[in-house]
Structure 1
Amino acid sequence: MRALLWVVGVVAGVLILLGLILEAVRWLIIIGVIALVIVIIWGFVKGRQAMGNQSRRR
């Protein structure tokens, strides 16, 4: 699961950089930012779930 988060995050970063390099292609920046926000939210939710699972085990 963590590897998937890394892959999506790297792809989002690459899309943002590619969008900045190719200024004419603004939608790449938008897609990259949306993907990055999704990764951050998803990572936060998964982290909270993992913390909840650890506290239940104790």
Structure 2
Amino acid sequence: MLSWALAFLVIAIIAAIFGFGGIAGAAASIAQILFFVFLVLFVVALLFGRRIVT
């Protein structure tokens, strides 16, 4: 998921360089949403992923 966020960030940067403001804004928003979803899933995996059953 982090790779998708980075891909959309690169798309946003390239679109902004070429002057496509709408596409750049949409891609940046998608990248931001994916990054925060990644962070939430990462924290959940850290908290619940390594439960040791005794």
Please indicate, yes or no, whether the TM-score normalized by the shorter chain is above 0.5. yes
Report the number of matched residues: 53
- 5+ residue gaps, structure 2, are none
Partner of 2:28: 32
- 5+ residue gaps, structure 1, are none
* Per-residue Cα deviation, 1:17-41 (whole angstroms, up to 9, x for no partner): 1122122352233123213322322
| Structure (1 or 2) with the greater helix fraction | 1
Higher alpha-carbon Rg: 2
User: CA-atom RMSD, angstroms?
Assistant: 2.4
TM-score (norm 2): 0.58
Contact 2:9 2:27 in 1 (8 A): no
TM-score (norm 1): 0.56
Task: Please list every run of at least 4 consecutive aligned residues from structure 1 whose deviation after the TM superposition is greater than 6 angstroms.
Answer: none
